[in-house]
Amino acid sequence: MSVSILSIGELLVEIMREKVDESLDKPGTFVGPFPSGAPAIFADAVAKLGESSGIIGTVGEDDFGRLIIERLKKDGVDTTYVRISKNFTTGVAFVAYFFDGSRKFIYHLPYAASGRISIEQLDEKYLSGVKYLHIMGSSLSINEDCRKVCQRAIEIVKKSGGKVSLDPNLRPELLSVEEIRKICQPVLAMSDVVMPSGEEACMLTGIEKTFSACEKLLEYGPEIVALKQGEKGSVVFTKKGKVEVPSFKVKEVDPTGAGDCFDAGFLVGLLRKWSLERVARFANAVGALSVTKKGPMEGAPSLQQVNDLLNSA
């Protein structure tokens, strides 16, 4: 058995401040744990949209690990290659939200089970059936072992005729921008699709103007660059030009995971061989719905919910 879309990387729980503008350096209240981790949110969203989805990663043999695996399985994600470690606890992210829309993270990842992904978890037969392998910059940032696993998986998938997508998902809390840029470059060169935010596109290229940065990213190897602009929608760049697609108006409750859900919608649309404009509109709808509930995965919509939004717009 294989899956159409596969992700690799951190599986963790998120514990967040209950109120906005409660910083992490003072006593206060938290809510959670919520199953999280960018690759996990992405994989969950893909499955809820009706495509076969899987993830490779590691959790601890603890309640947090069980929480994550049970949630992914319930939503239809293949967790065959999620390893359960007896020696390391499940990764945790503590998160604070602020009125200006910014967030602050404290991660327990590099020395948690999340960072214990190994080459032995890669099944070449399984990977050879994957149509899209989705890589996150946050996963590349954890440690050298995670980078090696991602690179090897890319080689197998590309050799088998599959494609690779990259979300830079920059996490300055884990590595500096310079370090992230360095580790992303080899993956950029092997990627078919890149889905950055404007800030990420500029950081990766060193170019200040967002659209120019996205056009520059095309020179690194990708066929498609899908720029995520939140409430402004998205812009899809190819060597033939660009397509700008507006977003949908929703009431934002929790922005975490919106980019990951957009990624899921975009790849699902590409698999269904839609026009780029239709793919982007679908992805915008998935991303918009994802912010309407508290918790990283809680807003990830079903295909029916996405279609309802598309039809009502």
Domain CATH number, residue 179 = 3.40.1190.20
Asked if residue 89 belongs to a domain, the reply is no
The per-residue pLDDT for 88 is 95
State the pLDDT confidence band at 131, using cuts at 50, 70 and 90: very high
Q: Is residue 67 part of a domain?
A: no
pLDDT of residue 113 exceeding 90, the answer is: yes
pLDDT the model gives residue 95: 87
Tell me the three state secondary structure of residue 311. Answer: helix
Pair 217, 205: CB distance under 8 Å: yes
Q: What is the pLDDT of residues 168-189, one digit of tens each?
A: 987 666 667 778 788 888 999 9
pLDDT in tens, 221-238: 999 999 999 889 999 999
User: Mean pLDDT over residues 125-152, rounded?
Assistant: 93
- Comparing 15-24, 100-109, 276-285, which segment has the lowest mean pLDDT? 100-109
Specify if 292 maps to a domain.
yes
Mean pLDDT, residues 138-155 taken together: 92
Mean pLDDT of 247-264: 90
**244 occurs within a structural domain:** yes
Q: Return the pLDDT at 174.
A: 62
Range of the domain at 213: 39-57+119-312
DSSP β-ladder status, 53-60 and 91-97: unpaired
- 11 contacts 71 by C-beta, under 8 angstroms: no
Check whether 19 has a pLDDT greater than 90: no
For residue 179, give both structure tokens: 């370090």
What total of structural domains would you count in the chain? 1
Sheet arrangement for strand 30-36: 30-36, 12-17, 91-97, 103-108
Helix axes 177-190, 144-159, angle to 10 degrees: 20
pLDDT band at residue 211 under the 50/70/90 scheme:
very high
* Residue 215 located in a structural domain: yes
Q: Residue 60 — pLDDT band, cuts 50, 70, 90?
A: very high
pTM, 2 dp: 0.93
The predicted-structure confidence for 32-45, as pLDDT tens digits, reads as follows: 899 999 999 999 99
The whole-number pLDDT of residue 103 equals: 80
Residue 121 above 80 pLDDT?
Answer: yes
Return the pLDDT at 84.
Answer: 96
> Residue 132: which pLDDT band, with cuts at 50, 70 and 90?
very high
**Is residue 178, in this structure, part of any structural domain at all?**
yes
Domain assignment of residue 62, yes or no = no
End-to-end CA distance of the chain: 38
Question: What pLDDT was estimated at residue 8?
Answer: 97
Alpha-carbon gap, residue 75 to 158, rounded angstroms:
28
pLDDT band at 287 (very low <50, low <70, confident <90, very high): very high
**Residue 295 falls inside a structural domain:** yes
